């Protein structure tokens, strides 16, 4: 479990507060999406989870470990895998399997076990065939999956994706989301996904919307997407399907709020014909 308790943060002494009192509890095994426009504080929030940033005020606890205690950091970072936005800037070595091994190597895992972990991690993200490839020759989506494998090899309990889909093409994005979704459903990994694409919030268990360094909404996707006008006022949007549902509602065709995807919409429309 991750707990934010009254977290405030500023990047420098004069600047504005990037986090203005955040209280948040993230239970184990959840798929949580944190949404917000650029500068809403969502990335600042994510970097608090593994102690890359430390709260100016308040505290962050990861499975009970306080990120402000330097002795906890290694253990916290082993438990929290973090994937960043730019696929090019998080792979450390040229060859894929050596990169995946980087985390466990740092943790001092014995060589034979690293081998096992690397193979397993590559299998989980479906990249076994690329173990000996040069990292820079892969597509963006493949690089991000290697980055995830690099985290899995540390055997974390929590996976944080900090706008990890932002630079990918639709295919790469789809593959990444599928990989993450499976890790959550099959392996019970806690997934925290930071994004500005509301389509990605559809499959979440819970969505937190940030604005001005504060949490302004915190609910299940269906409830969040029923507040389309508020979202747009926050510089966000609703998925196209939800937009269509809104418009139909205005035109007198009422559909249930649980309609979030194309197949759900088609399903709901069919009986009306």
Partner 1 sequence: MTDITLGQFIPGNSCIHRLDPRTKIVLMLVYIVMVFLVKSLPLFLVPLIYVFLCLGLGHISFSYFGKAIKPIRFLLVFMFLLNLFITPGDTVLLSWKFIHITREGLLQAVYISLRLILLVTGASIMTLTTSPIALTDGLERMLSPLKVFKFPAHELAMMMTIALRFIPTLMEEADKIRKAQMARGADFESGNIIARAKAMIPILIPLFVSAFRRADELAMAMESRCYHGGEGRTKLHQLKLGRNDLMAALVTAAFLALILIVQGLFPGLV
Partner 2 sequence: MPIVLEHLSHTYFDGATSNAAVKDVSLEIREGEFLSVIGHTGCGKTTLVQHLNGLLLPSAGRVLVDGLDTADKKQRPRIRALVGMVFQYPEYQLFADTVREDVGFGPKNMKLPEAEIALRVSEAMAMVGLSMDQFAEKSPFELSGGEKRRAALAGILAMRPKYLVLDEPMAGLDPQGRQNILGMLEQLRQDTGCSIIMVSHSMEDVARHADRILVMDHGEVKYLDTPKAVFSHSDELSQMGLSLPAPCRVAALLRQKGVDAPADICTREDLEAFLTRRLRS
The distance of closest approach from Cβ of residue 145 to partner 2 in the complex, given in angstroms and rounded to an integer, is 15
Which CB sits closer to partner 1, 65 or 107? Answer: 107
The distance of closest approach from Cβ of residue 101 to partner 2 in the complex, given in angstroms and rounded to an integer, is 28
Is 252 one of the binding residues for partner 2 (CB under 8 A)? yes
Query: What is the token pair recorded at 106?
Result: 């740092």
Is 166 one of the binding residues for partner 2 (CB under 8 A)? yes
The distance of closest approach from Cβ of residue 170 to partner 2 in the complex, given in angstroms and rounded to an integer, is 5
The distance of closest approach from Cβ of residue 166 to partner 2 in the complex, given in angstroms and rounded to an integer, is 5
**Footprint of partner 2 on residues 175-234 (CB under 8 A)?**
196, 198
Is residue 111 packed enough to be buried (19+ CB in 10 Å), middle (13-18) or exposed (0-12)? exposed
CA atoms of 273 and 265, how far apart (whole Å): 13
Which CB sits closer to partner 1, 20 or 93? Answer: 93
Single residue of 36, 55, 140, 150 touching partner 1 by CB under 8 A: 150
Is 262 one of the binding residues for partner 2 (CB under 8 A)? yes
185 Cβ contact partners less than 8 Å away, ≥ 6 residues apart: none
3-state helix, strand, coil in the chain (%, to 5): 45, 20, 35
**Footprint of partner 1 on residues 240-269 (CB under 8 A)?**
none
Single residue of 22, 35, 109, 176 touching partner 1 by CB under 8 A: 109
Please choose which of partner 1, partner 2, none residue 167 contacts, taking the beta carbon within 5 to 8 angstroms, the exact cut-off set by kind.
partner 2
147 vs 84, 160, 164, 197, CA distance in Å? Answer: 9, 12, 10, 21
CA atoms of 100 and 89, how far apart (whole Å): 14
Q: Name the residue among 48, 43, 49 with its Cα closest to residue 162.
A: 43
* Residue given tokens 């399997």 in the structure block: 97
Query: What is the token pair recorded at 89?
Result: 């800037």
Piece of 96-104, 176-184, 212-220, 246-254 that binds partner 1 (CB under 8 A): 96-104
CA atoms of 213 and 53, how far apart (whole Å): 14
Q: Name the residue among 56, 105, 58 with its Cα closest to residue 78.
A: 105
**Footprint of partner 1 on residues 57-86 (CB under 8 A)?**
74, 77-78, 80-82, 84, 86
13 Cβ contact partners less than 8 Å away, ≥ 6 residues apart: none
Single residue of 25, 69, 88, 169 touching partner 1 by CB under 8 A: 88
The distance of closest approach from Cβ of residue 237 to partner 1 in the complex, given in angstroms and rounded to an integer, is 27
Is residue 40 packed enough to be buried (19+ CB in 10 Å), middle (13-18) or exposed (0-12)? buried
CA atoms of 23 and 21, how far apart (whole Å): 7
Query: What are the residues binding partner 1 (CB under 8 A)?
Result: 47, 50, 52, 74, 77-78, 80-82, 84, 86, 88-95, 97-98, 101-111, 114-115, 118, 132, 134-136, 147, 150-151, 154
Q: Where do contacts with partner 2 occur on this chain (CB under 8 A)?
A: 37-39, 139, 166-167, 169-172, 196, 198, 235-237, 239-241, 243-244, 247-248, 251-253, 262-263, 265-266, 269-270, 272-273
């Amino acid at each position: 479990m991750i707990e934010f308790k009254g977290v405030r943060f500023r990047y420098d002494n004069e600047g504005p507060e990037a986090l203005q009192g955040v209280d948040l509890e993230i239970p184990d095994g959840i798929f949580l999406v944190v949404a917000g426009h650029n500068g809403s504080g969502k990335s600042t929030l994510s970097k608090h989870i593994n102690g890359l940033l430390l709260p100016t005020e308040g505290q962050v606890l990861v499975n009970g470990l306080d990120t402000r205690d330097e002795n906890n950091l290694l253990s916290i970072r082993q438990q929290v895998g973090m994937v960043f936005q730019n696929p090019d800037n998080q792979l450390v070595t040229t060859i894929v399997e050596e990169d995946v091994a980087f985390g466990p190597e740092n943790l001092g895992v014995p060589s034979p076990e690293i081998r096992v972990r690397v193979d397993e991690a590559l299998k989980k993200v479906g990249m076994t065939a690329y173990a000996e490839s040069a990292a820079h020759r892969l597509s963006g989506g493949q690089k991000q999956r290697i980055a995830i494998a690099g985290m899995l090899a540390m055997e974390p309990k929590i996976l944080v994706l900090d706008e990890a889909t932002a630079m990918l093409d639709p295919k790469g994005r789809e593959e990444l989301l599928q990989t993450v979704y499976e890790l959550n459903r099959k392996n019970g990994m806690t997934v925290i996904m930071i994004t500005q694409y509301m389509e990605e919030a559809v499959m979440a268990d819970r969505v937190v919307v940030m604005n001005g360094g504060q949490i302004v909404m915190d609910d299940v996707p269906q409830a969040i997407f029923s507040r389309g006008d508020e979202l747009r006022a926050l510089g966000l949007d609703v998925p196209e399907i939800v937009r269509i549902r809104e418009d139909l509602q205005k035109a007198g065709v009422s559909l249930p709020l649980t309609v979030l995807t194309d197949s759900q919409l088609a399903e709901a429309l069919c009986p009306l014909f």
